[in-house]
A and B are shown apart, each in its own frame.
Chain A
Amino acid sequence: EAQVTQNPRYLITVTGKKLTVTCSQNMNHEYMSWYRQDPGLGLRQIYYSMNVEVTDKGDVPEGYKVSRKEKRNFPLILESPSPNQTSLYFCASSLLGQGTEAFFGQGTRLTVV
Chain B
Amino acid sequence: GNSVTQMEGPVTLSEEAFLTINCTYTATGYPSLFWYVQYPGEGLQLLLKATKADDKGSNKGFEATYRKETTSFHLEKGSVQVSDSAVYFCALSDWGAQKLVFGQGTRLTINP
Which A residues are closer than 8 A to B by beta carbons?
4, 31, 33, 35, 40-45, 48, 50, 56, 58-59, 90, 92, 97-102, 104-107
Contacts and interface: CB of A to CB of B under 8 A. Distances in A.
Main secondary structure of the interface of B (DSSP, over half): strand
Interface stretch (B13-21, B69-77, B94-102): B94-102
Contact-size category for B:
20 to 34
Contact of A98 (B32, B44, B103): B32
Contacts of B89: 42-43
B51 A48 contact: no
A97 to B, nearest CB: 7
A102 to B, nearest CB: 6
**5 A-B pairs closest in CB distance:** A104-B43, A99-B32, A42-B102, A99-B51, A42-B104
B6 to A, nearest CB: 8
A41 B51 contact: no
B49 A101 contact: yes
Interface in B66-92: 89
Contacts of A50: 98
Contacts of A44: 102
